[in-house]
Structure 1
């Protein structure tokens, strides 16, 4: 799992799983997330509490795929294969 001692400032939901992440590594490597966060912050009132808004990726294929993407954004080496594992 991707974790850090720093407080997270981004929550992404894929299916029923919520990922507590950090904006800098995620948004610097993923333009789609950057656009989603930007459009969400422009369309909503400023946050007045510690509550964070959840970015939902409703069309993301599966949680395992998102975990690989998050690891890549954090600079963790990932291995991809053309073979399907079962």
Structure 2
């Protein structure tokens, strides 16, 4: 992944957009990661993966509910939230 300081991203925005078409570009400010710029295609793939993950969690939860195994909302959606926090 290419890393670009925020000031450079601002000054070379066109270059940033070109690089993001080929690989994610991490934007940093004062040495801290503040954003990642990705291509529309990569964003669409990411969104589809999140949707598939949500569908899998819901299907598992429905199957458990049909067997009478009820869980709290945190038990059901906690793994999704944790995955998002970890960047998955």
What TM-score bracket applies, with the shorter chain setting the length? under 0.3
More helix by share: 2
TM-score, normalised with respect to structure 1: 0.25
TM-score, normalised with respect to structure 2: 0.25
Bigger radius of gyration? 2
Q: Which has the higher contact order (CA 8 A, sep 6+)?
A: 1
